[in-house]
Structure 1
Amino acid sequence: MSDTEDEDGQSRTIKITVVGEPATGKQSSLCSRYLGSPACGGGGTSGADVLCGQSAGLRPPVPVQLCDVAGNAIHTAMLANYLYSSDIVIFVYDLTNLQSFERLALWVVRVKEIFEREPKKPLLALFGNKSELEHQRAVRLSCVQKFASEHLLENFKGSARTGEMVNTAFAALVSRVAGPRAQPAPAGERAPARPLSGRAVPSHSLIMNRKALRRFKRGATSSICKLQ
């Protein structure tokens, strides 16, 4: 059985966890942009939001589960539960906000500590948000490149507001994890990822045991749920 298949031979769900400082216009907007869903709320994420859908930019489409972690979760014991079973972790910063970038060093340390004893490590990536405000850039490109190189991070820049590079970045990362079974769709067929319809994600889905989580992922459909 391939690492990208479950016990029934189906394409397994790829879990993407998005982390970073508060107020970077990041997770909720970025995840919603990727899945083509309305952005969650206006007051920022509290705890973690979970969205499920399909990465339609790949053939065959790959089921994905996105976990949007609140910026203040770095100081909580729940962070390990939110990160549990992640295949991809994306560190998001606002390229117009230097502090949001500098604080990512703490996020990287925490995430690596959590996965230190895990046999399977997630793919780590860096995403500079708000590229539509490039003229207001406060984070030097050379610093971003150095940081990505030092921490072995895939490096992307784009905009949750305009959608620039969002689908491309997510599809590239999902393709890396899914392996040769998932190939980029032909240019004319590269629709954005899409949410699925159906039952809601249970609020305990991030902290259930591995067997139960696998069962849930096989039947996961869609929605948005908030974990506190």
Structure 2
Amino acid sequence: MSDTEDEEVQSRIVKITVVGEPSTGKTCLCTRYLGGNGIISSGNTQGAEVMAGQCLGLRPPVTVHLCDVGGSALATTMLKNYLYCSDVVLFVYDLTNLQSFEKLGLWLRRAIEIFESEDKKPIMAIFGNKSDLEHQRAVRLSCVQKFASEHLLENFKGSARTGETVNNAFTKLVARVMGMKVRRCFASVNGFSPAIKNGELNGPDPLPLQSEPTHSLIMNRKALRRIHRASSSVCCLQ
């Protein structure tokens, strides 16, 4: 990528508007992606809140504005203002709450109406939150897949609480908007996204983007000695 293209990417701002029913974890999802722990103690969002950060999974990093829309906005005329100039509209539902998924149809129809007269159409996607409560799932996977297929929506599932899939989902959506390939992304540590430190953006590339943790097949001598010392078993060939 040339210096001119780098400057264009760095000056570009991708707006992701996050919508859905109350208590689906939209705010937690946004804060988790921006480096928080995904736990919010306050009540439901009133109106909309805009948060800013950078998508570190792309090179060069891309500036991202997340517009967290309150669940009550569906019944107001302000929704059009909140969705204005969105590059991505992410519809969030709680996979333990069937009603939150069934209401996505209303949110989707309203968004389509708003963008019908616009030349620029946003990418639309759904995100099933609270996958850490999979044992309490109330929304059938087949219903989700059918809904996403019928409406040509990107389909993600993850957890704002543990961080599962959150970075991957947002990074892939930003990459689609920018027409860039997903190359790298910060991995979460013990379920928490590491905070961005000064100078880190210009430092070495972060860890590879991956949906599941991997383990190196190469072990250095020091690590091998530690394992040998910790082991009390003896293997004998007979």
For the aligned pair, the TM-score class normalised by the smaller chain equals 0.7 to 0.9
Q: Please give the per-residue CA displacement for 1:90-133, whole angstroms capped at 9, x wherever unaligned.
A: 00000000000000000000000000000010000000000000
Q: Offset of 1:139 from its aligned partner?
A: 0.2
Query: Which stretch shows the higher mean deviation, 86-95 or 7-16?
Result: 7-16
Q: Offset of 1:76 from its aligned partner?
A: 0.6
Answer 1 or 2: higher relative contact order, Cα 8 Å, separation at least 6: 1
The unaligned stretches of length 5 or more in structure 2 are 199-238
Aligned partners of 1:77, 1:48: CA distance in 2, in Å? 13
Q: Offset of 1:172 from its aligned partner?
A: 0.5
Q: TM-score if structure 2 supplies the norm length?
A: 0.73
User: Is the CA contact (8 Å cut-off) linking 1:34 and 1:194 kept in structure 2?
Assistant: no
Q: Within the alignment, does 1:22 sit opposite 2:22 as a pair?
A: yes
User: Is the CA contact (8 Å cut-off) linking 2:9 and 2:62 kept in structure 1?
Assistant: no
For residues 114 and 159 of structure 1, do their structure 2 counterparts lie closer, same or farther at Cα, with a shift above 3 Å needed? same
Q: Please give the per-residue CA displacement for 1:168-200, whole angstroms capped at 9, x wherever unaligned.
A: 0000000000113x5422x6x557596899xxx
Aligned partners of 2:197, 2:48: CA distance in 1, in Å? 19
Q: Within the alignment, does 1:35 sit opposite 2:34 as a pair?
A: yes
Structure 1 residues 18-167: aligned runs within 5 Å:
18-24=18-24, 26-37=25-36, 42-167=42-167
Aligned partners of 2:187, 2:136: CA distance in 1, in Å? 31
Structure 1 residues 184-223: aligned runs within 5 Å:
184-185=183-184
For residues 171 and 10 of structure 1, do their structure 2 counterparts lie closer, same or farther at Cα, with a shift above 3 Å needed? closer
| RMSD between superposed Cα atoms in Å | 2.4
Q: TM-score if structure 1 supplies the norm length?
A: 0.76
User: Is the CA contact (8 Å cut-off) linking 1:54 and 1:193 kept in structure 2?
Assistant: no
User: Is the CA contact (8 Å cut-off) linking 1:36 and 1:193 kept in structure 2?
Assistant: yes
Q: Offset of 1:60 from its aligned partner?
A: 1.1
User: Is the CA contact (8 Å cut-off) linking 1:37 and 1:195 kept in structure 2?
Assistant: no
The unaligned stretches of length 5 or more in structure 1 are 198-228
Q: Percent identity?
A: 64
Aligned partners of 2:174, 2:91: CA distance in 1, in Å? 15
User: Is the CA contact (8 Å cut-off) linking 1:20 and 1:104 kept in structure 2?
Assistant: yes
Q: Offset of 1:41 from its aligned partner?
A: 5.1
Report the residue type matching 1:135 in the other structure.
H
For residues 120 and 88 of structure 1, do their structure 2 counterparts lie closer, same or farther at Cα, with a shift above 3 Å needed? same
User: Is the CA contact (8 Å cut-off) linking 1:23 and 1:44 kept in structure 2?
Assistant: yes
For residues 140 and 120 of structure 1, do their structure 2 counterparts lie closer, same or farther at Cα, with a shift above 3 Å needed? same
Q: Which runs of 4+ in 1 moved over 4 A?
A: 7-10, 38-41, 189-197
More strand by share: 1
Report the residue type matching 1:116 in the other structure.
E
Q: Secondary structure at the match of 1:67?
A: strand
Q: Please give the per-residue CA displacement for 1:124-147, whole angstroms capped at 9, x wherever unaligned.
A: 000000000001100000000000
Aligned partners of 1:193, 1:165: CA distance in 2, in Å? 15
Aligned partners of 2:159, 2:195: CA distance in 1, in Å? 18
Structure of higher CA gyration radius: 2
Aligned partners of 1:27, 1:60: CA distance in 2, in Å? 27
User: Is the CA contact (8 Å cut-off) linking 1:156 and 1:169 kept in structure 2?
Assistant: yes
* Residue correspondences, number: 189
